[in-house]
A and B are shown apart, each in its own frame.
Chain A
Amino acid sequence: MSFILEVFLLAFLTVAALAILRMRDLFAITMLFSLFSLLSAGLFTVMDAADVAFTEAAVGAGISTILMLVTLTQSAREEKPGFHRSPVLPLVVVWITGGALLYGTRDLPTRGDPAAPVHTHVAPRYLEATDEEIGIPNVVTAVLASYRGYDTLGETTVILTAGIGVLALLGIPHRRRRKQDDEE
């Protein structure tokens, strides 16, 4: 059952990606980006990665869509037609890169393989010790906040830094005074 769902979701992901490539209407493209994220979230749910699916749905389909829509109000609705160049060189580059990636996937372990390096390194230690050492059922939270607390501190700092960057570029938002409104 999950196999059928995965094929179904992956097929829709491909359709959405192709539609995004062909379109010029930026509003429709933003909506398709949101759909793409929602389909990815569904895919993560089928793979039992609830926390990742949650983040993808909230950030990818929710907030980033809104931010793109707000950006669209500052920009044109239609994408401008690009320069007409020969597509041969880009096509060759894309084919070689894609071929190299496909060749590389031959060495990857199959999904869910218990002998895969990612399942033999520190993951068993976390899974076995979380109940005893941390005492909470959600191992993802235990890894994020406790075992890998330094990483999450770094990520939080990255978010703050990104926010400072945006505010430095766009200016700090403030409420307009009523009197100024009347003068305008």
Chain B
Amino acid sequence: MLHGISFDLQDGELVSLLGPNGSGKTTLLRCLAGLERPTAGSVRLDGVDVTAVPTHRRGIGLMSQEPALFPNRTVLENVAYAPLLRRSSDREVREEVARFVSLLRLEGFEDRRPETLSGGERQRVALARTLAARPAVVLLDEPFASIDVELRAELRAEFRRVLRELGTAALHVTHDREEGLFLGDRVGLLFDGRLLALGSPSAVFAEPPTAAAARLLGYTVVRDGERERAVHPADVRLVPVGPGARAATVVATGTTGRESLAVLALDDGSRLELRARDGAPLPDPGTQVAVAWDRSLLLPDGRPLPSGDRPAPKEPKRTESLGPP
């Protein structure tokens, strides 16, 4: 269920919503696309209420995690689908298709069928097809989740470039914090159907509103008396036992290839990551150590936000909203 989500999307802006599985990301996109009906609230496009407008007339494009290409059509035919529906002339269709084929670097793929394409190629075709429909807004539902890790960075950059070049507004949802923080002009945090924060990536990263949000952003949450603190692994270091240091036990050590990593268990039971700096050796598992951190964030006291409340947006309102009428 979604609760009191309200935000705006400006022309040409890309907003990323970051949330764990089950937070309502896909449901939100489906509501915006008209594939689900919200029980309350409205969707407005340039001030016009489109909540009751059926999907095919709404002018909002949607790209799913799995590219839902038409399997019995070629790449060209997939991209040409919407222009043909618009009954554009043959010349217009050809020009439109050629434009998006070029934009997404799909030259040479025109006559191929989806099953012969790689995951990344299929997603580029899906984006070309979505953009050829000239949507006012593009919704991206974890479009890189099924892409190999080594190709993701390249594809993310390409998507961002294309959307910027076209000036198309986009709403992107993901559970991958790196992806969300990288892509979004603004980033929102979605938990249990509620939008807990919305702001610039650095602002959101610097001020997680809850412990769960902090964890999603890569922090570890440790108890500090009655309150909780968010500590980033990059800020943790081994120190001699003394004032200000926290006792911990090394649980496991390993390497990520480039750096050594240790998992520590603090006295309150929470787990903390420690990254070795400058190739320094890490203690063996079972060793009692002391740790400190250069920086930490004191989290809000943890009470749930009142229904309907949300962190105040920092940017002026305009385009798209899903909120109380």
Q: Do these two chains really belong together in a complex?
A: no
Chain B residues packing against A (C-beta within 8 Å): none
Chain A residues packing against B (C-beta within 8 Å): none
